[in-house]
Chain A
Amino acid sequence: MGNIINSDLKDRIIISLAQSSFTYKLIRKVGSYYFRKSDSSFLFWLNFYTRQLEIAYQQKKPVVWASIFTPSELLYALDLIPLYPEMISASVASLNLADYFIETAESNFYSPDLCSFYRVASGMSLKNCLPRPDMVISTSLLCDGSVKFFQNVSRYYGCDYYLIDPPYERNQGSRKYLVNELKKLVQWVSKRTNEQFSSIKLRKALELANQSTLLIKKINQIREKVPAPLSGWNALAYQLYMYFASLGSRDGLNFYELLAREVKNNAIQDKGVVERECIRILWLHQLRPYYPNIIWQIMLDYKAVIAFEEINQVFWLEYDLTQPFSGLADKILANPGAGSLSRRISSIENLIKKYKIDGVIHFNQRGCRQSCGGASMIKDYLKAKGIPMFILDGDGIDKRNYSEGQTRTRLEAFFEILSQNR
């Protein structure tokens, strides 16, 4: 009985905290004070993220749940408030709260083999801990799990779902098809918001995205410098959030201006992330473990740094404002992770050269077929070229799939190989 009361109380506390826009205001205020000594880009992100949740709860604008590969530029142009459940799951895990939602999802028949980013988000929906979506938009790009997840979300909340399903090849025919799909999406949204689509707003969003992209390119270029002026460990966390969620907004541009300044300052002062940097790592896959773990500490012990991450590349062209849909379609099609594996491999090879990489780590997220499926082939390819690669099996969110001892032995052994190679 005691347990029932306790878990009931816990439920009620968590739900009422999560549902109040005041909570996010409080997190922002407390967070800004607590992290006052952190980088301004981090504080900016904290502000942006909590404000987005706050506004979504206030429902001043229609809320859209979107998958990370849905171009945010388009969502801002349509005047929607985008929420990215995968990214929210990551922040929940970093607060060490994921278990509660994973248990909820699994006790509601979600398979433990479903990628934990979706299990947490499903658990949060089931507990009513996320702002309700007015509509759901996702793309099948890369992530096959996302289609079913978002379809399920739309059913659960009783709202409509639009799927952007890009073709496999990047060619003229695919582009034409996708342009049409995106135009249909715009009409689909207008019908649901009763708002006329504004091509001026779209141009504005793409212009902002172009300016942010230019800054990302600049940051990425500065990151070629040794010692690494930016921590790839952070780049896989809050910076990644901004990469997916802020392009096309004024906030996005402001964020990248701050980040570019920070990176530039570090580079000018020759300030590396790791003292006496010895090993430069390229990190593959768009995520890393977000709960407390020892990976970063081990890297520090071996003076290793994530010099770059596959996910933060700029692979798309500057938007031609006279043909906005074509540019957006091409951004989706140009993703190096889409289509044949050879595309991903050649982009990885390019990054290895550019960032003077000593070794590659591929994080194999449990339940993620799109990236893990090709990992061994990438490893074989790189091995033939003499580049060591290590496949780190793990889970970004579900710490039940994390073993400190095993992670330590594998990672340290890999760093020992890299150290002996130097």
Chain B
Amino acid sequence: MVVAGIDIGAITTKVVLMNEQKIESYVVIKSRVGINQNARECFEQVLQNSGYQRKEVTSIVATGYGRINVPFAHKCITEITCHAKGAYWLNPAVRTIIDIGGQDSKVISISESGQVIDFMMNDKCAAGTGRFLEVMAQALEVALEDLGDLSLQSKKKVHISSMCTVFAESEVISLIADGYRKEDIIRGLHEAITNRIYSMVVRLPITDVIALTGGVAKNRGIILSFKKKIKKKLYLPPEPQIVGAIGAALLAHDLAK
């Protein structure tokens, strides 16, 4: 049975196509205005890559903040449930998921059977999200993808005290003016995000295997910072951005059964 999961995030749109619970193809593109059109294009692309026809896809689940604007999806399910499903499928030992998305970050606690027990989400503020890092990368005039590697070259700790995106941006600008190295500032930013999210992690039971998902989980600096803070085994999915879409596809499969 061929199914699809579509995850419309604030920054990226992801589509995963599965056949009998095996990933056939996936696509990640930048989200643009016009969610429906965006989702359609992404879906067409994944069909093209995999060689399947539209009519062969029996069930589609949409997730992510734009989920209600995908008219061709059979069901909308929240990214909380989808991330849990996806992460557990990838690694059944996972009991906690830290997902750092573009617009929000969340911590999800799951049971031995993979069901969501509880979750925490950041409040309505960009602190501790991908958007925060994007703004900081601009202020530092470095590419977003380079943040991780640069922070690994840090030699000295710089403390960033503001978590408000606007204040942190001016703090970063003053630190540059004061002659601090970009590498050290970036490390400080990663630690600030980690601390912020850690306060949500401790509100739920700290389990042995914790998955780190979302686009930010590709950043090696963040990974290191989390490893140091949490002192637990981190599970890093091969492609952390599509975990929600995988979960959505798996749920689409369950739905069609």
Contact = CB atoms under 8 A, between A and B. Distances in A.
- Whether chains A and B associate is yes
Interface of A: 376, 383, 388, 393, 401, 403, 405-406, 408-410, 412-413, 416-417, 420
B11 to A, nearest CB: 14
Contact of B78 (A383, A401, A413): A413
A409 B124 contact: no
A406 B121 contact: yes
Contact of A403 (B79, B115, B124, B203): B124
Given A376-B203, A406-B104, A409-B65, A416 B121 contact: no
Interface in B114-146: 115-119, 121, 123-124
A409 B80 contact: yes
Interface residues of B, number: 17
B200 to A, nearest CB: 12
A405 B115 contact: no
B116 A406 contact: no
A409 B244 CA distance: 14
Contacts of A383: 118
7 contacts: A393-B123, A405-B65, A409-B80, A409-B121, A413-B81, A417-B116, A420-B81
Nearest to B10: A405
B116 A420 contact: yes
A265 B162 CA distance: 58
Nearest to B119: A413
Interface of B: 65, 68, 77-81, 104, 115-119, 121, 123-124, 203
B158 to A, nearest CB: 31
A390 to B, nearest CB: 9
A409 B118 contact: no
A416 B65 contact: no
Nearest to A408: B68
Nearest to A376: B203
A409 B80 CA distance: 8
A416 B123 contact: no
Contact of B80 (A376, A388, A406, A416): A416
Contacts of A408: 68
A400 to B, nearest CB: 10
Q: What are the 9 A-B residue pairs with the smallest beta carbon separation, nearest first?
A: A413-B80, A413-B78, A416-B81, A412-B78, A403-B124, A417-B116, A405-B65, A409-B78, A420-B115
A376 B77 CA distance: 26
Nearest to B204: A383
Nearest to A402: B124
A8 to B, nearest CB: 34
B68 to A, nearest CB: 8
Nearest to B111: A420
Nearest to A415: B78
B124 A406 contact: yes
Contacts of A420: 81, 115-116
Given A376-B203, A406-B104, A413 B123 contact: no
Contacts of B65: 405, 409
Nearest to A393: B123
B79 A409 contact: yes
Contacts of B79: 409
Contact of A416 (B68, B104, B116, B203): B116
B117 A417 contact: yes
Scoring A401, A403, A408, A412 by chain B CB atoms within 10 A of each residue's CB, the highest score goes to A412
Nearest to B203: A376
Contacts of A416: 77-78, 80-81, 116
Nearest to A391: B120
Nearest to B116: A417
A416 B75 CA distance: 13
A86 to B, nearest CB: 24
